[in-house]
Amino acid sequence: MTVFPVISGTTGVDRIFDGADDFDLELLDARTFDGHTQVLTYRPTRHG
């Protein structure tokens, strides 16, 4: 499995950063629930 994290709006449908700078996403935490579901927490920083 490969994960490609993205920053999206509330619904996850509309693009909210058209024309914005690029961001790097730093993985801060990874937790596994029930042996199957993972929650990944990222910190966005401006790419530079």
DSSP state letter for 22: P
Which residue's structure tokens are 């199957």? 36
Residue reference for tokens 């993985």: 27
CA angle (39 as vertex; 36, 41 as ends), nearest 5: 160
Contact 47, 23 (CB under 8 A): yes
Neighbours of 23 (CB within 10 A): 16
Domain-wise residue ranges, the chain: 20-48
- pTM (2 decimals)? 0.57
* Max CA distance (Å), the chain: 39
pLDDT tens per residue across span 8-47: 666 767 666 677 777 888 999 999 988 888 888 888 888 7
